[in-house]
Structure 1
């Protein structure tokens, strides 16, 4: 009895010591993440099952919790797709006031209602919950998320009506509510009540596969809209098709099929000259068969199963050269089929079944080489004239007289239904796949791995030949190009089993294989899923609009179901030795005091990454950092493959820049100084402190630095689309239309205004030029290179007297003459950049100075200010709305006297006004990921840190103007 009591008391002491041990650890751990954000994430962790295993500790931002992205100490993004999350979305999420992206797609275990408080996420731009199990009504508070550009709630179980408040989302680009159980009518504005007709900037209306009722409101569409896709298929809509649809000239895809629509097809449809896919099938449309010859680029037309007036086959169809798919089953057509129809050069499939067509079928001697199928069963075809070369075309004439004449004779092939199932699978890349163990699959590169799988669903493909390997090879290549351009850890993709479902959607099985190992981590899967759910991936145009339904990925540890068994075994073993562990804790507690000092030192190093900073070499005290991380030299060696030449992406007077890859797959640009060009420790510390306090969408972010083993390195975010200078000169292959230039100007101005007016203390850049403005994957402008920057915190005169530094052509002449630096010196340099944007000329070119050339050519009484010979020829054929005000602004920025120049805040307001007058939204991204930006476009853009860009851009300028 005494022994038992002693053992119990000992265990109690062990437990108390264990609690003391962890309490002490917590007390010396300083969480960098905002306390409110940390509380919200812990709340989500409590209500969700299967959260990532590294969601531990008190610093999600500093500890890189899977799926969590931060700006400084604030959580800005939660992306956790296909990770097996289950539970409900807590209303606490509304407290993440800086959250911009929420993507929880492909987690079938997420269920319940969306909280009404979600409307408090005022900075949210992307709300993506595809393929979950959410239910109940969509809260009308989503109409308060006025910054939303993507609202994707498709493939859930939402009920109720479409909230009219969605009409308030003036920045919305993508609206997808398809494949739910929504009911009621489509809301339009009425007095003070908003409606979907107000979404004039939205490109995508996806409402298919719901239970919407009533007629499609005439007011829903108007000529101000810029819609590309309107999908109302598979609902319960009634009434007439609104003629106002014909006013949306931008429309490319229209699906109204599988409803109960009546009346005639509006004559205004003939105005839809950009339409490529039209499906009105399975309604009760009547009247004459519509003439739509104005749809000159129409690829796919499906009018099947309607009640049109009986008429002969429309002869005008034979003139529609873009047609690939013609579906006119059960449309009351009669008479012979013209042979010219089958000579359309792109024609692949013709379905004329269940009509009253008669006579002889003749596909002509020069039928389309792409023709695959002619289905004319259940007509009155009396003869089929076979032509040479027609053996590759599947022809179906079942239940026609031509197949009934010889019932006892041998059946012709056209009287037997062909097997149209496609067996396509991406082939191996010149290798022989071996046998893969466990649940692994051989990739096209013949490597065995745990693939990330899912279903690609294309809602309106313009082709119908599912056996065409060339088409699917193009899709495979497009996927890989997209994944590579966004630096995703993907080695290969495999496509298989293309088939049409009951809604005429094209379904394709997708497998994505990991790069460098045989399984993905959570970050890799979430990033891949986000690129598909957020429409970052752009398929070839013939595939049309798509969505993705990802499967849960269960192999994050390289295991799967087998690892669960191992985990269960581990739990049993752990329970068996639990008592022993508690006893051992007594011993650990005994040495705790000895090790406490080391733990405290380690905690100090984590909160002060310059704990090893050598203050004896005139470097001053530890740098005061805001978000930047101290990297060890060994870490950067590993990330750059020992600073190999293969990872070198640029060089200059300062040193070299290397591409580094974090274990998460994210890329870095690592700027490594040469020995002879290194700054003093104090100057290096000052530059790091300056950069670490800069956090803005339009300013390149400092990720961290390294100051050990005699090295000075700065680590920046990797910006993929080069410098503005490279874009204007054509080096990067990016198309720079006039409106795109306006957006770039606005982004750069906002970044510079932030430095002048919101940074604490204010910062003068001192080297603004087109080579120091970088373009990210959305062509958002980012101000870069702070090597010459100055703080204004210690100045009470509004200027800093300093040695003149800068780049010829951009240098403020007043600063050059007086050596007094003010923020207006940056304004002058920015004015030169504005002139570059309009002319694509370098500031000093062949002895001519751009500012002087524009002044001499300007004549405000003439069209375009008489600048036709100066303006960039690449934009001369565009409608240069706002050019006059743009040039006026540039010239005010380059005024000789700084006091007469506008502030950067005023510059921002003026550019915003120019954009608004040009009919553009100044708050939209430069290039949305769902816009028609064709991947920089058709070329491989050089990276901003490439050797070529340094030759012009001055990334490490060897010729800074530095008078002594």
Structure 2
């Protein structure tokens, strides 16, 4: 009895040790459920790691999501980025999965496999994909992605497979330049599948090098122009090369002959010219297609006769002339010869020793005047229509090889396995083993097969065998596979219908379907080499069976069921006992540490004693913010930073919110979070972003601010927002930010040091007024005897006060230094550190007051003179730069106070307006870009005569000390 109890206790402890899914992953998965429709029905309960279809975990963290062919609908939420341990994401063959790929994909730093084949994703591929340093496999083919291929993919040094084919991608193939990466950096990648897009420009020579491991280069059906670069000959590992269906011109480089491993070479349907070089060293060639180019007239190339592995020769419309040597048809592997629309003449003689695999010889529209048929029953289809040999008839009847009627292409279907198929019910199909079932179906597409004989059973039997071996090796419940209807599409892809039948019952469960889908989508299955690179496109599966194994329930032993029931009851009792014990221990621990954790009861609505003391700030529930942001949807994602993401929300009364949601790794401690929101709730100024409220539930930390519609100053200076700031408007923005900082330094009690002044933290409202935001690093000077705070150095490189960096003593003058850098950024639109150059040093070295614009022609942003102030000139620029350089003095003592900065900026602005801002004859001082923002609102006029008196500007109630 004791042994049995020990066994049961071990089971209990094993269950407890396994634990439930980590809270943050559970929250994320439930958020995904809110934005996706038709998720698997067993996605319920609190432990996805235990039972949820398609979810795999390690140490209670989600590491794999494989949901191919699940019929998912909707958009992929940006919350996917919170699954920080995720390594595999496969959502293939969900054709109703649409919308953009969220930028948050870049937060999945452990992701190694990303597969979204055959969905309906659209929009650009986000640059953030370049952050995923562990990525080895990317398949985004057969979607509707637009825009350019991100340069950042070149950062993925571990990448092995890149498939972006069959989308709507545009622009050039990205290559590296300076610090900007490109595909040429992917030395370990073996597969570039980029066909069927709208790529343009030249094939860059820098793309190829002897260091590359590339074996598949597929660029077919794009808009590429220019010459084939000779550097292509350096990629000596290439096995498949498709450049067909573009507008490439010029000669084929002779060193393409160096690619001795190439088996399939497609150069057709371009504008290639010149002399066709010898390819005699490419002895591995199986499939050669040079059709529809404008090569110089040439006799049949003798080097072709050396290609002993050749199965398919296609040189339609290539200016071929002269006679075809009889020995061509003796190449042992030859299956198809297409030489139509040329100038071939003389006698056609297939010969007495033609290849036993030869199926087709198409020589239509040439100048052949004789055909010698040495076999009475020639099995080869000969097509000579449009040649002189067909101009004469025998007794008025055209010979077969001159006829329009062509025999149907031989096809293939998996044969019955020595059985007689029975009649199946509606929707079911008979398997090769004559069992009726609902198969998992789709189309296998081979992008460069090495053969053209679609009636050759041996190829397809090899494929069937390979599929079954792969399914069996992965212990999948597959009874058999059926291949049928092989066809060649206009792009010379081989398409083949595939049906996979379940074993043991008439349908697959979800586990069976998504596992088969994953095996085909991630290229685990390797087809016989003659089929070349492939992809699979699954049909929708609508006949799911029960979850679990596919075995028949009839074999279950009743005794086992009874024993399991008894054991289960005992287990439940033990779990209840363990639960009660754990609950009591938890309560005891809470009583012991209650005083040391002032936020322990924040999640209860009744308790307000431990709540922070807030003024005019509201506590929001998680469910409220979830509703206001439409489940934190990607559409409402308006930005991100080191703290987390920012979402746009809308209150029921229509008021807009900006909700900053902390990601797991950036969350503060509870005391720090409390201190920050108490600080923010006590400051109120027109040039500071207003805190409306907060949320602290479900282990979430969220701050709710007023929504500032025109984004960050950085976005405006870089042109991202589409708003242009002239000189006067830039002065007003600088003044507004300075007024906000002055309030923090001189009117807040205790004084507040922002510690992270930068263009990203200055926002522009609907009237382009500046508002300082993001107080996550702010510090209060609580000791009235000190003018500094000794603290760990934090901030942003380029804006950071060097004195604070050296001493770790934070003062108000640290904000002044950062503001000086911001002033230089305002006039230059440059980042503080750009290409290794520091803006402070650049201005200091270039500044010369004896010259126009202080000698800063090459530094000043050219767009600063656009719009209304173009007739005014940059009045006060010299004083503005002087003031900025005082702010960035090495010593804090030499820097002005922010109130002094405000007064100087007021004077500069007044002089600039007086120089012409109020006397414009047209009376219209609003630039077109500003007019679009303000929509004619008189209160937003950028050159109104409102007072800039400091006292008036700062006439807000003084903050009471806490």
Which category of TM-score, normalised to the shorter sequence, fits these structures?
0.5 to 0.7
> What SS does the corresponding residue of 1:419 show, helix, strand or coil?
coil
* Alignment size in residue pairs: 545
**CA distance in 2 between partners of 1:501 and 1:362 (Å):** 30
* Structure with the greater alpha carbon radius of gyration: 2
2:294: which partner in 1? 307
1:778: which partner in 2? none
2:860: which partner in 1? none
**CA distance in 2 between partners of 1:452 and 1:225 (Å):** 38
Verify: 1:499 aligned to 2:487, yes or no.
Answer: yes
Going from structure 1 to structure 2, the CA distance change for 1:72 and 1:331 (only over 3 Å counts) comes to same
2:92: which partner in 1? 105
Q: Over residues 358-409 of structure 1, what are the superposed CA-to-partner deviations in whole Å (9 max), with x where a residue is unaligned?
A: 0110011101010000000000111111122762101100111111112862
Verify: 1:511 aligned to 2:499, yes or no.
Answer: yes
2:371: which partner in 1? 384
**CA distance in 1 between partners of 2:184 and 2:577 (Å):** 52
Verify: 1:154 aligned to 2:154, yes or no.
Answer: no
Aligned pair partner of 1:602 in 559, 572, 579? 572
**CA distance in 2 between partners of 1:470 and 1:289 (Å):** 35
2:118: which partner in 1? 131
Going from structure 1 to structure 2, the CA distance change for 1:522 and 1:237 (only over 3 Å counts) comes to same
1:340: which partner in 2? 327
Cα deviation, residue 422, structure 1:
3.4
Verify: 1:46 aligned to 2:34, yes or no.
Answer: yes
- What does residue range 515-664 of structure 1 map to in structure 2 within 5 Å? 515-557=503-545, 602=572, 605=575
Q: Over residues 692-742 of structure 1, what are the superposed CA-to-partner deviations in whole Å (9 max), with x where a residue is unaligned?
A: xxxxxxxxxxxxxxxxxxxxxxxxxxxxxxxxxxxxxxxxxxxxxxxxxxx
1:210: which partner in 2? 197
Q: TM-score, normalised by structure 1?
A: 0.55
Q: Over residues 753-807 of structure 1, what are the superposed CA-to-partner deviations in whole Å (9 max), with x where a residue is unaligned?
A: xxxxxxxxxxxxxxxxxxxxxxxxxxxxxxxxxxxxxxxxxxxxxxxxxxxxxxx
Cα deviation, residue 216, structure 1:
0.4
> What SS does the corresponding residue of 2:206 show, helix, strand or coil?
helix
**CA distance in 2 between partners of 1:71 and 1:97 (Å):** 12
Cα deviation, residue 606, structure 1:
8.9
1:329: which partner in 2? 316
Query: Is 1:208–1:235's contact at 8 Å kept on the other side of the alignment?
Result: yes
Aligned pair partner of 1:116 in 63, 78, 103? 103
Cα deviation, residue 599, structure 1:
9.3
Going from structure 1 to structure 2, the CA distance change for 1:608 and 1:221 (only over 3 Å counts) comes to farther
Cα deviation, residue 488, structure 1:
1.3
Q: Over residues 204-249 of structure 1, what are the superposed CA-to-partner deviations in whole Å (9 max), with x where a residue is unaligned?
A: 0000000000000000111100101000000000000011111011
**CA distance in 1 between partners of 2:571 and 2:159 (Å):** 50
Consecutive unaligned residues of structure 2, counting only runs of 5 or more, are 1-15, 548-567, 582-962
Verify: 1:484 aligned to 2:472, yes or no.
Answer: yes
Cα deviation, residue 480, structure 1:
0.5
2:651: which partner in 1? none
Query: Is 2:227–2:248's contact at 8 Å kept on the other side of the alignment?
Result: yes
Cα deviation, residue 72, structure 1:
2.4
Verify: 1:372 aligned to 2:335, yes or no.
Answer: no
- Which ranges of 4 or more aligned residues in structure 1 deviate by more than 4 Å? 28-31, 598-601, 606-609
**CA distance in 1 between partners of 2:254 and 2:573 (Å):** 74
Verify: 1:455 aligned to 2:443, yes or no.
Answer: yes
1:466: which partner in 2? 454
Query: Is 1:153–1:176's contact at 8 Å kept on the other side of the alignment?
Result: yes
Query: Is 2:112–2:134's contact at 8 Å kept on the other side of the alignment?
Result: yes
**CA distance in 2 between partners of 1:525 and 1:475 (Å):** 20
**CA distance in 1 between partners of 2:577 and 2:145 (Å):** 46
Cα deviation, residue 264, structure 1:
0.5
**CA distance in 1 between partners of 2:147 and 2:467 (Å):** 36
Query: Is 1:374–1:395's contact at 8 Å kept on the other side of the alignment?
Result: yes
**CA distance in 2 between partners of 1:514 and 1:98 (Å):** 33
Q: Over residues 311-356 of structure 1, what are the superposed CA-to-partner deviations in whole Å (9 max), with x where a residue is unaligned?
A: 1111111121000000000000001100000000000000000000
**CA distance in 2 between partners of 1:53 and 1:29 (Å):** 27
1:221: which partner in 2? 208
**CA distance in 1 between partners of 2:310 and 2:409 (Å):** 22
**CA distance in 1 between partners of 2:463 and 2:67 (Å):** 26
Going from structure 1 to structure 2, the CA distance change for 1:89 and 1:599 (only over 3 Å counts) comes to farther
Query: Is 1:84–1:108's contact at 8 Å kept on the other side of the alignment?
Result: yes
1:804: which partner in 2? none
Q: Over residues 426-460 of structure 1, what are the superposed CA-to-partner deviations in whole Å (9 max), with x where a residue is unaligned?
A: 00111111011121100001111100000000000
Cα deviation, residue 30, structure 1:
11
2:3: which partner in 1? none
Verify: 1:288 aligned to 2:275, yes or no.
Answer: yes
Verify: 1:96 aligned to 2:66, yes or no.
Answer: no
> What SS does the corresponding residue of 1:398 show, helix, strand or coil?
coil
**CA distance in 2 between partners of 1:442 and 1:432 (Å):** 10
Query: Is 1:421–1:499's contact at 8 Å kept on the other side of the alignment?
Result: no
> What SS does the corresponding residue of 2:420 show, helix, strand or coil?
coil
**CA distance in 2 between partners of 1:87 and 1:31 (Å):** 31
Cα deviation, residue 29, structure 1:
15
Going from structure 1 to structure 2, the CA distance change for 1:364 and 1:313 (only over 3 Å counts) comes to same
Going from structure 1 to structure 2, the CA distance change for 1:553 and 1:162 (only over 3 Å counts) comes to same
Query: Is 2:92–2:118's contact at 8 Å kept on the other side of the alignment?
Result: yes
Between 382-391 and 394-403, report the one with greater CA deviation.
382-391
Aligned pair partner of 1:251 in 232, 238, 251? 238
Query: Is 2:510–2:545's contact at 8 Å kept on the other side of the alignment?
Result: no
Higher relative contact order (CA 8 A, sep 6+): 1
> What SS does the corresponding residue of 1:392 show, helix, strand or coil?
coil
Query: Is 2:283–2:306's contact at 8 Å kept on the other side of the alignment?
Result: no
2:773: which partner in 1? none
Aligned pair partner of 2:55 in 68, 90, 101? 68
**CA distance in 1 between partners of 2:310 and 2:379 (Å):** 19
Aligned pair partner of 2:188 in 180, 187, 201? 201
1:237: which partner in 2? 224
**CA distance in 2 between partners of 1:210 and 1:427 (Å):** 38
Verify: 1:428 aligned to 2:398, yes or no.
Answer: no
Cα deviation, residue 424, structure 1:
1.2
**CA distance in 2 between partners of 1:415 and 1:342 (Å):** 20
**CA distance in 2 between partners of 1:282 and 1:334 (Å):** 19
> What SS does the corresponding residue of 1:537 show, helix, strand or coil?
coil
**CA distance in 1 between partners of 2:107 and 2:346 (Å):** 67
Q: Over residues 508-558 of structure 1, what are the superposed CA-to-partner deviations in whole Å (9 max), with x where a residue is unaligned?
A: 000000111111111111110111110000000000000000111110038
Cα deviation, residue 415, structure 1:
1.2
Q: Over residues 115-135 of structure 1, what are the superposed CA-to-partner deviations in whole Å (9 max), with x where a residue is unaligned?
A: 111000000000000000000
Going from structure 1 to structure 2, the CA distance change for 1:407 and 1:531 (only over 3 Å counts) comes to same
Q: Over residues 288-309 of structure 1, what are the superposed CA-to-partner deviations in whole Å (9 max), with x where a residue is unaligned?
A: 1221111011000000000000
**CA distance in 2 between partners of 1:109 and 1:522 (Å):** 18
Q: Over residues 544-591 of structure 1, what are the superposed CA-to-partner deviations in whole Å (9 max), with x where a residue is unaligned?
A: 0000001111100389xxxxxxxxxxxxxxxxxxxxxxxxxxxxxxxx
Going from structure 1 to structure 2, the CA distance change for 1:465 and 1:30 (only over 3 Å counts) comes to closer
Q: TM-score, normalised by structure 2?
A: 0.55
Q: Over residues 54-87 of structure 1, what are the superposed CA-to-partner deviations in whole Å (9 max), with x where a residue is unaligned?
A: 011001112x210111112111000001111001
**CA distance in 1 between partners of 2:60 and 2:324 (Å):** 70
2:672: which partner in 1? none
Cα deviation, residue 31, structure 1:
6.6
